[in-house]
Structure formats: structure tokens, C-alpha cells
Structure 1
């Protein structure tokens, strides 16, 4: 359906692809992986003819319709979220617009002389509209928007009043409603809560077209794709299997390549020792010459490329008291809406709570109460003795000084730290080489999140309060963060839609649902096993 044939592509001095080849066949669901800047978005743009290959070609079968979701959604305003979704549904949207125009023309007395022509065209367009399922379009659009977390009032309200994250959901809904022959989805799991993510997972499993997607959500990728295409070092390498299989196979391939390289290096060293030892002896001249010719003909095995993996190790944090935070009789509301009605909760040292709940259940509000970013209407929130709290929230990224570089931001936070330790810290969170001289104002959302986490974790608190810490983080940084937090000896309170993150780190679950609060004295994996659902209100 879509083929990359010996594609080469260069941006300035950066070489992205060198004679790279891969295919996307009908009905395949493929994950596209690779380090930041490897060329994943460029590959999507080449398929969409927004960029062209320097050499080779990107071939697309005739008649194939393609829907492309990117992180750049453009301007949306002036109509409802429902109308905006329907406007992007491809041919059916275009045909529907013409049908509405023809209906208006048929009702216009001034065009009575065109009546026969208009009626004939109306019949043709109406037939095509029915064939494309146009009369069911609004119902389908509402179903998709509801799956992505929209209430009826949000669907019918002005799309211009929505936040950037909700506009992203509208743009995604447009592509899902379109149901093209092939979908290109660039990070569709960003900005989704867990319930919407699980709904999207089910939708994509049932989608019969071809799918090529990137995602920083390991579990989401595992459950949808059956093939991985990796971009690394200018080449495209295909692996049959999900993301976990790819990780295992890549590690096996690296080990085999390393072993082959070491075997050849040992053989070459042995031959060179023979040559050096006997090159001056006439009796051995023929043997020496023979071995020299043999070495000249050997195809050298290159040292295997290894993806850089960074590891972050916590410095020792001070030990807190046994009772880390206690909420007693907490009431909290916004306007007429009650969020908490007499909440009692005790978090003890070493506990790792993940907070579950649908949109509006009060997950972020709970974290704000604990972090003293907001106060209860009634009741008390008491932080225990010797508690040093670190709070990661999305608004924290807005507090970075736009005029400072990454390195200056670290230096300003830790003026007594050595340059070497700060450069190591920056490298752990994905800022290497010249990237540490980037001004904060040009950083992406993911880069800002990494910088804020680096600052928070360098001088470690003993109580981490994390509100969606993995939003925008790439898979490699997420894995580094998970491994680091596994070694963290303090207490955690987490809100996250990343199931791999929750499963790896939690040992308690707090479920918020319609004013009801339930606690589970085990981690997320046990919660799913005992409740039969991955999020409140959802059944497996």
C-alpha cells in the first residue's frame, strides 16, 4: 500500500535516511520507533507529500486514502467541536457540504430555471452521501467524541474555547471519523486520560485499515501493533511483533553483532601477531604473504551501533516520619460542584499511591491539596515531620525562565554543584552536547518536562507528588525515569495515564468515582486483576 524504496533524505547537515526501505501493507498495524530527531515526523510528511525524498521514492497505491494526525492541529474556532470533527471527515464531509448547498439552491425561487439540472445533481450527490454513510455521520462523530472524553455540552460548544489538549482530541476525532484506508498517527496517546486511551485502543484494534503510528506509551503500542519499523542511523529496520518483542529482539541482535565483531577482532589480532612475528623470516615469507592477502579480502565486521541508555541515580534523601500526610474531613468544591465530601486519607512512609478516576473526579485537586497549592473548604491537610515534598505539575513548566539556557536553569537551581555533575544530570534527562545551551523559550513540551524533572530530582525530596509526569516524555526517558523511581526510597503520590508507569511503581491504589473514595492495599496490577477493569467505570 505504501512503500519506501531506497529513500535518502537530508535536512541541512543532518542525514535522516540513507537508502532506507520499508513497506506498510493493507490491514497492518505498525509502530514507528526511533530516538528523538531520527526522522519519524519527516517520514510522515513524505507520505503526505509535504516533503520529498532527496533520492529514492515513497510509492502509494492508486486510490488509497490517508488520514494524518500530527501534533500541529492549527487554528480551530467559530463552530462547535461536533461540526469541526465532521468537517474533517474526508469525502463524506465534502459531499455533505455540496448536498446542503444543493438543498439551499432548490429552495431558492431565483434559481427555478435551473430546477431540472439541480434535481438531477441532487439525486447524484444524495446517493453518494448515503453510500458514504453520511446520514449516520453525526451519530458516529458524537460516539467518537464521547469516547475521547467529550461531554454533550463540550461537543456542542465553540471549539475555539477549548484548551490545546482538547483541540488535539478534536483533530484526532476528525481522522477516526474519516476512516481512511491508512492512518498515520503521530503520538495519538498524548493529552488523553486513561479512560480515553483505553477507548482509543479498542477503536484502533477494530479499525480494518492500515495503521502507522508513533507513541510514547509502551502498553498502548504493545496492544495495537503487530510490527515495528525502527529508524536508527539512517536506516529502516522491520521487526515482526509488538514493542516488547522489538526490545527483546533488538537486544538479541546487538548481542549477536557484538559477539561476531569480537570473534573477528580476535581472529584479526591473531593473524596480525603471526605476521608481525614472522615478517622478517625468509622461511615464513610465503605464509606471511598469504595471510596478508587473506586479511585484505576479509569483509570487516563493523562494531555494532548501540543506542545510548542513560541512568539516573538518586542521591540519599532525608528520612521522613512514618506519617507523611494526613487528610481529615476534607471538603472541597468549585462553585456548586462538590469534589470531596469529608475525605479521610493517611499516606505513610514508603507507600506509593496511584490515584485513579475519570475526568473531574478530583485527581489533580487531591495532589494540589497535598502540595498546598490549594486549600480545603473544610477539614485539614497535615504534612508529617521531616517531610521534604517535591511536586511536579504541568504548570511548573511555565515557570522556567524563557531567557535562560538549559544549563543555566540547572546552575541557577544548584549554584554549588559542579559543572560535571550538572552536565551528567542533563545527559540523563536527554540534554547532551549543544542541547544544554538551548534557551528555555524554544524547548518543546517534552524537553521542558524533562528539565523540570531533572531540577526536582537532583536534590531529592522524600515525598514525590507527580501529576502526569510522563506527558510528552519519549520512551527512552520514560524507561530511565521508571528505573530511577524504582530505586527511590521515599513516598509517592501519582496521577498518570501510563499503565506501564503505574504497574512498575505503585503499591497502593486510590480510586475516586462520583464522590466515592475506595482504597486498595496493593499496586495497579493487582487492582486490575481484582476489579476486572483498567480504570474506574470501565469493564474488560
Structure 2
């Protein structure tokens, strides 16, 4: 039976990513790997795949174990190959001619349109590139499949396709999935490992049940630590009293007993476990406020594709203060085009026909690729020049948002996707808007960051218009739901019926 075991595995970069990790991955296991951005998920997957060695400990693989790792980016050598050939090249050279039929079989499993199969991978959408890498790994028939953020760039249709493939395909090969998508983890995993620098914690449950158990585990650890530290304080007070008695009375026995109690207190303090705390960096929103009740109004507005095709019409729509509007629709329906249209109407001095904006409207805008960030500027220079905070204050707010000093001077183009997302959300807050227009704001944001963003939107009573494929995020923040369907925009009670229709 295929299996992989970790014994006391640690990986230390500048600081520990994880220590003394003990884990067994066996037949049928579907393990969710959860940690903040930069906390070691990709590093652990590369260790499991044998691409890098851990700093300490042993990784034991059953004889002949075949491991396939699907990384987040398309390798440079595959970009010019067609989708069909990317899969074909994954087969051993001697089997390609006789086994080419397997390429079409795997592409069929993912409902791949015929016209996409001959396109170069670099010409495909980000979602199809992700599925291409997953299909390439699967065609090798691995004994262990490792997936690093497989839902990045996937639209809802492809997300549900991937979920169905993992849960319904009927294969028993173990899978390890690193993901920030909470619904995806719940649907596709049976175990969860929370990766931490000192003590990683695992549970034989999907994410949400495991998260509740983790919270209880951490609360028990905090209670025990507080109890231990109280005992340490009591022992030291006793030791000091005995020392004073010994000094005043000249009793050597009291002095010896005092030293014994101090050593016991020191030993207890050493064993008092530090309780892990997530440090996602500050994601905070502001609300400039306005007395206007209606901030945005649309009357008989048409939304067009870039080539001029009419996508849908909005007969009438008003967005009032405090509304959190979620725009739903299948891929290509025009959600992002609507966001771009509203952005143009809110930023042009003369507006756009059919779209009314309140004079007091102050816009905060985030697009899904963080295209509003100047790629050649550094994070520090961007914040300094855009918001005039001064050098020291600019460095401070960047540090609060999770940017160490050594990252603040890098060109934005060299930042990780997660860091770009945090920078974009920081700029959103500093602009002090009263309307937030957001297209996929949680792209590349880790789970602690997503939860903090949800809380900030609710606490700020923010007025929002947003597009998101993160189902947990949508259900947490949405108060109104607009569905693009059959060439029209109409309001619906919630997202559930739409999600069910896409899944079918």
C-alpha cells in the first residue's frame, strides 16, 4: 500500500516554518494543509515531493512511490506547448504513441472543450492553466497527488468541476491540498493539518470541524499556560519569602529550600508552552461616511463586452448606504465588465449616461489582478507618494499590514500574489472611501486575512459592490444579491440556488 511518513521533520529558513512534524499519509487520505501565506505550505509540499530536503528529520516513502506535485505556476518549458501536448509530454517517451488515448480520456474528465486542446497553454485562462497542470499530474497515475492552491484563478464552473473530480472520481490515491478556500477544503478533504512554527496540529476532520477543535485546543493551551504561570509566580514568591527568612535567621536549610523552589519555578516556566497566534497583518477598512441615502443609481444601462457585444441590461438599480451587493453570474456573463463600467462612471468627472453617483461618493477600488498597483514602484514609495504619510508613518502602516522592512523596498512586481493583495487592501483603507468596489478581493489572501476582511466589512458597515468566487466570503458579507442571467440583471434572495445550478 502506498504511504509516506514524516518523523520529526523540521524546516528552518530565516525562522522556523515548522518543527518536529510527525505525519502518516496513507491510502484514501485527503489531507487539507492550512496556514497563513508564507508559513511553509509550499515548502512542505516540496519536501513531500522530494524536491527539497527538510532541515531536520526523516521522510520515508514506500518502495516505488510515485508522487506528483501541482505547483501554483506553469513551468516555463510548458508555456508554448498545446494543452494536449502538455499532458502527452508527461507520459514516458516510450509510451506516448500507444498511450495517447489517455490524454483525451483525462481531458474528457475535466470537460475540456475541443478548441482549447490545441491552444498553447500560455494562451489559456488562468483557470484552464490550473486544470491543465492538475490533469498533467493525474495522467502519470501517481500514488500521491500534491495540490498547491489548486483553486487559484478558477471560476465557479471549474471550481465545481474540480470538486466533483476529487470527490466523485472514485480513486483511492491519497491527496494533500494546500488551500485558502474554506468551502473547497470542506468538500474535498477528510483530514486537516494546521501548519505552525512550533507545534503543528492535525485532526481527522474537514476544515470547519477541525477549526472548531483547533480553537478548543488553543483555548485549553492558553488556560493551562495561564495556570502554569500563576504557579510559577506563587513558587517564586514562596522562594523569596524563604530566602528572606534564611537571611534574617541565618538558616542554611531555608536558603537551600528557597533555591530548590526557584529551580522548580524556572523548570515550570521553561515548559509553559507558548500558545500559537496567527499574525495575518492588519486588514482594516475605514468608512468616510456620508449623509446621502442613495450613493449609486442606474437606469436602463447596457453592459458590453470589450468587442462591443451587448452582454446584459440593467433596467433599474439603486445602491443605498450600507448595502453590500454581491454580483453573481456564470463565467463570461459580464461581472467584471460591470465592475469596470461602474469604476469608470465613479471616476470620470462627467460620469456615464444612465449612471448617477452621489456628490459625496468616495470610491475605494480593487480589481482581481491588483492592476491598480504600479508594478515598477516599491511598496514603500507607492504608499509614501499616494497618501503623503511621511517616511516613518508609511513604513509603520506597511509593517502593520504584514510587510517586513526588507520587503518594503522591493518592486511591487516582485512581491508574491498574497503580498500584492495585502498592499491593495491597505491602499483601499488609506483612501478612506465610503463605497467599496471590489472584484475578487480575496484572491491570494489567506484564511486569517479573509476572515479579518469579512469582520472589517461588517464592523465598518461598509457599502460594497463586489464579485467573488469565495462562497464563504459571499455568504458572510452579502446583504443583496444580483444575478446576471439571460441578458438581464435581476435581484435574487441569495446565492444558494445559483451555486446549485452551476454545480449541476
Aligned CA distance change for structure 1 residues 186 and 411 (closer, same or farther; 3 Å): same
Give the 3-state SS of the residue equivalent to 1:279 in structure 2.
helix
Aligned CA distance change for structure 1 residues 18 and 342 (closer, same or farther; 3 Å): closer
2:364–2:431: 8 Å Cα contact kept in structure 1? no
State how far apart, in whole Å, the 2-side matches of 1:336 and 1:307 are. Answer: 51
What's the offset of the Cα at 1:366? 0.8
Kindly indicate whether residue 354 of structure 2 is the aligned counterpart of residue 380 of structure 1: yes
Give the 3-state SS of the residue equivalent to 2:296 in structure 1.
strand
Aligned CA distance change for structure 1 residues 319 and 446 (closer, same or farther; 3 Å): same
State how far apart, in whole Å, the 1-side matches of 2:8 and 2:382 are. Answer: 43
Residues 120-131 of structure 1 correspond to what in structure 2 (within 5 A)? 129=99
Residues 297-308 of structure 1 correspond to what in structure 2 (within 5 A)? 297=264, 299-300=267-268, 301-308=271-278
Aligned CA distance change for structure 1 residues 538 and 411 (closer, same or farther; 3 Å): same
Query: What is the aligned partner in structure 2 of residue 296 from structure 1?
Result: 263
1:325–1:348: 8 Å Cα contact kept in structure 2? yes
Query: What is the aligned partner in structure 1 of residue 296 from structure 2?
Result: 325
Give the 3-state SS of the residue equivalent to 1:196 in structure 2.
helix
Note the alpha carbon deviations across 1:419-472, whole angstroms, 9 max, x for none.
44x455324432245433433232112211211111111232111110011111
- Specify which of 192, 204, 210 is matched with residue 240 of structure 1: 204
Note the alpha carbon deviations across 1:236-276, whole angstroms, 9 max, x for none.
43222222233333332232222222222222322322332
Aligned CA distance change for structure 1 residues 490 and 296 (closer, same or farther; 3 Å): closer
1:80–1:157: 8 Å Cα contact kept in structure 2? yes
Query: What is the aligned partner in structure 2 of residue 441 from structure 1?
Result: 413
State how far apart, in whole Å, the 2-side matches of 1:52 and 1:517 are. Answer: 53
Query: What is the aligned partner in structure 1 of residue 25 from structure 2?
Result: 24
Query: What is the aligned partner in structure 2 of residue 413 from structure 1?
Result: 386
- Specify which of 439, 457, 461 is matched with residue 467 of structure 1: 439
Note the alpha carbon deviations across 1:59-117, whole angstroms, 9 max, x for none.
111132222100132133554323323443x46xx554143xxxxxxxxxxxxxxxxxx
Give the 3-state SS of the residue equivalent to 1:372 in structure 2.
helix
Aligned CA distance change for structure 1 residues 22 and 10 (closer, same or farther; 3 Å): same
Aligned CA distance change for structure 1 residues 283 and 16 (closer, same or farther; 3 Å): same
What's the offset of the Cα at 1:343? 4.3
Residues 184-333 of structure 1 correspond to what in structure 2 (within 5 A)? 184-206=146-168, 207-277=171-241, 278-282=245-249, 286=253, 289-290=256-257, 292-297=259-264, 299-300=267-268, 301-309=271-279, 310-319=281-290, 321-333=292-304
- Specify which of 367, 374, 377 is matched with residue 339 of structure 2: 367
Query: What is the aligned partner in structure 2 of residue 162 from structure 1?
Result: 124
TM-score by length of 1: 0.82
Aligned Cα root-mean-square deviation (Å): 2.9
1:194–1:535: 8 Å Cα contact kept in structure 2? no
1:141–1:177: 8 Å Cα contact kept in structure 2? no
1:320–1:387: 8 Å Cα contact kept in structure 2? no
Runs (5+) with no aligned partner, structure 2? none
Aligned CA distance change for structure 1 residues 18 and 332 (closer, same or farther; 3 Å): closer
2:4–2:60: 8 Å Cα contact kept in structure 1? yes
Runs (5+) with no aligned partner, structure 1? 100-128
State how far apart, in whole Å, the 2-side matches of 1:398 and 1:74 are. Answer: 27
State how far apart, in whole Å, the 2-side matches of 1:435 and 1:28 are. Answer: 37
TM-score by length of 2: 0.87
1:82–1:142: 8 Å Cα contact kept in structure 2? no
Query: What is the aligned partner in structure 2 of residue 104 from structure 1?
Result: none
2:151–2:181: 8 Å Cα contact kept in structure 1? yes
